[in-house]
């Protein structure tokens, strides 16, 4: 199966439907930024997968190897507009 990617620069649904998440790349706009990644369609009903905090303006890559299954989708909530998150995934549907 081919891997896809999507980049968000604001809160939003990155992937709709079940998938394997292989990589999460977080690029903050400023110092002391954070991002939450949820298994779900939003931050309310979704299950928090990870909370990433950056203390410097640098890119952080989280490599999940062969992939972690997400059941309903991937939702990303960022602390500030201007941060960027890239999700590398394989759709399962």
Residue 11 CA to residue 30 CA, distance in Å, equals: 16
Domain boundaries, the chain: 4-91
What's the mean pLDDT when you consider all of the chain? 92
- pTM of this prediction? 0.92
Closest CA to 14 of 31, 32, 38: 38
pLDDT tens per residue, range 19-62: 999 999 998 887 778 899 999 999 999 999 999 888 777 888 99
Does the domain at 4-91 match CATH 1.10.10? Answer given as no
pLDDT tens per residue, range 67-81: 999 999 999 999 877
């Amino acid at each position: 199966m081919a891997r896809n990617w999507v980049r968000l620069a604001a809160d939003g649904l990155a992937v709709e439907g079940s998938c394997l998440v292989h990589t999460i790349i977080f690029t903050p706009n400023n110092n002391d930024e954070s991002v939450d990644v949820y298994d779900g369609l939003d931050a309310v009903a979704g299950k928090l997968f990870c909370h990433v905090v950056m203390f410097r303006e640098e890119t952080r890559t989280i490599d999940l190897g062969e992939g972690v299954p997400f059941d309903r989708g991937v939702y990303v909530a960022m602390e500030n507009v201007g941060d960027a998150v890239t999700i590398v995934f394989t759709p399962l549907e």
